[in-house]
Amino acid sequence: MKRTLIITVIVAAAITLAMFIINRVASGNDKEKTFVEAKRGIFEISVSNAGELLAERSIDIKGPEIFSSQNFGGSRGGSGGHGRMHAMDFEIQDIVTEGTMVKKGDYIARLDRTEYDNTLKDALESLTTLKANLEMKILDTAVTLTDLRDDIKNQKFVVEEAEITLAESKYEPPATIRQAEISLNKAQRGLEQLKKNYDLRKAQALADINQTKLALEDGTDLANALQEFLAQFTITAPSDGIVIYKEDWNGTKRKAGSSVNPFDRTVATLPDLTSMISQTYVSEIEVNKVKTGQKVVITVDALPSKVYTGIVTSVANIGEVLPNSDAKMFETLIKIDGTDMELRPSMTTWNKIVINTIADAVYVPTECINTGADSIPFVYTKRGNKQVVIVGEMNDKNIVIKEGLKSGDVVYAVQPEEPWKFKLTGEELISKL
């Protein structure tokens, strides 16, 4: 029993000691959190926002052009002329993985050509019909003109016979001679009529053949253009680079299964990785601070060990409301210094735009500054003073103290428990506020 009592006392003492130590440590930590020291050094005023990497320059990888004249055959009105092809959306059947490094001429994507295959099939069938029609017209013309030439030859014999009859009738009665003259005249007129008819039929036949030839040329042009056009449905890289999918207006990327509008034929892009920009958006509250030419410190989420520098090259004049934001935001473009081939479009960035730098300033955290009903700024010092201060510029963490504190002064980071016990000092600064 006595032994049990001793053990109980020891345990209770140990618990009490442990609680005392924990309270002392916690109290020390609280004090560390309660007080901060005014620092002196370079003070940087900046605006920081997340952003996204973009290539300053890029080459568009496009689907086939369907609106140029060579894609429609000729324009002579034949059955192979304009109007055989129509603007339709392209569907991407297959495309390489985004981020793939490619060389010029490498495969990029394949578009669905079903609708245009049907157009080519119709064009080839029409071309076959036109060829058959031309051959038939040439054959029919040859037969017709041969018959007409035979008629002319036969009529020449009739004229010759009439001439002989007239010559033999010179000793016949006048009536017989007159009859022979009439027969010769009639035969001669018949011959002239046959010759004129031959020339007319020949001209008509040649015109008809030429028209068919023109239609055949148009049909051939269309078929050739279609075959060349459909060859473009297999898209290759126009140059070396990394493949980045095209982003539509709503932010979705074009990939396998996506439709490509014939008025916007870009399937993907090849960005120039030697020149990158960071696109960020600055709020309407801070945009007036941001100017072109200001220096920027940039970090990239995907490359946490690296820090980049850049310069503001553009600040939008008109704000826009971004998704999940009610405030107006202004697009700001930052040119990144140098070249790093590890940087890729769409990587998330953090951009610290340096608005101003004060070479030598005393500063404390912004939460140290208090104001009363009179709006006079002051701090609570560890010495028990309620010190009036003149403040200057501030950044997202700290504020400059122009007068009232010096480097090393210790102040409260939070309001003390009994603020009324603190003595007001620095009243002479009030007149400078």
The CA distances from residue 37 to 27, 45, 362, 395, 398, in Å, are 18, 20, 10, 17, 12
pLDDT tens string 376-415: 999 999 999 999 999 999 988 999 999 999 999 999 999 9
Which pair of tokens denotes residue 100? 């793939």
Residue indicated by tokens 């000793």: 171
pLDDT tens string 243-289: 999 888 777 888 888 888 888 889 999 999 899 999 999 999 999 99
What is the architecture of the domain spanning 59-241? Orthogonal Bundle (1.10)
Residue type for position 104: K
Which pair of tokens denotes residue 236? 């290759």
Sorted by where each begins, the domain ranges of the chain are 49-56+272-357, 59-241
The pLDDT of residue 66 is above 80: no
Helix axes 174-231, 114-168, angle to 10 degrees: 170
DSSP letter assigned to residue 96: P
Which pair of tokens denotes residue 20? 């005392």
For range 332-361, the mean pLDDT: 94
The pLDDT of residue 9 is above 50: no
The pLDDT of residue 358 is above 60: yes
* CATH homologous superfamily, domain 49-56+272-357: Efflux pump adaptor protein, beta barrel domain (2.40.30.170)
pLDDT of amino acid 8: 52
CB 286 within 8 A of CB 352: no
pLDDT of amino acid 86: 62
DSSP per-residue letters across 198-234: HHHHHHHHHHHHHHHHHHHHHHHHHHHHHHHHHHTTE
pLDDT of amino acid 298: 98
pLDDT of amino acid 205: 84
d(CA 366, CA 53): 32
Tell me how many helices (H) and strands (E) the chain has. 3, 24
pLDDT > 70 in the chain, percent: 87
pLDDT tens string 83-138: 455 667 788 989 999 989 999 999 999 998 887 788 888 888 888 888 888 888 88
CB 298 within 8 A of CB 307: yes
